[in-house]
Amino acid sequence: MKGLIQRVSEASVAVGGHQIASIGNGLLLLLGVERNDASKEAKELCRKILSYRIFPDEQGRMNVNVQDSGGSLLIVPQFTLAADTSSGTRPGFSLAASPDVANRLYEEFVAEAKSLLGAERVQTGEFGADMKVALVNDGPVTFLLEVGGSK
């Protein structure tokens, strides 16, 4: 399972021209679910993301996590993160989880995030939708975190 996190001062998701989610300061997470992922990976990656220290402390060093910063989390399912890009000039998707498995694990990830961070601080995209994601990357600060067999 892969999570591309970006520290943002704001981020939003629109579907069909209508904004469905938005946050201020916090993390935008693009979440990719791979074929061999299970509930264990969803919980492990969620805990890793929420505890990852990429917000500045009083001295300006990246030493504070999203939980302690008071920031929010916008979770966007991102099928293309599971792409195999090791050869050629076109991505392959044989490593991606099937849509039903990916949706279940995405929902489990969201539930875990809401239980740890608080439902009021977690927003989501829409699984399987054509989404337009807007963000202001703060820094810029971007990290790819992985758990399971893909790392």
> Domains of the chain, with CATH numbers?
2-140 (3.50.80.10)
pLDDT per residue as tens digits for the range 1-35: 999 999 999 999 999 999 999 999 999 999 999 99
Give me the residues paired with residue 64 across strands.
55
Mean pLDDT of all residues belonging to the chain: 96
Question: Is pLDDT above 70 for 102?
Answer: yes
Question: Is pLDDT above 90 for 110?
Answer: yes
Query: Which of 30, 32, 4, 44 shows the shortest CA–CA distance to 148?
Result: 44
pLDDT per residue as tens digits for the range 35-73: 999 999 999 999 999 999 999 999 999 999 999 999 999
- Confidence bin at 122 (pLDDT 50/70/90): very high
Pairing of strands 2-15, 18-23: antiparallel
Question: Is pLDDT above 70 for 150?
Answer: no
CA 7 to chain centroid: 11
pLDDT of residue 149: 65
Give me the active site residues, please. 78-80
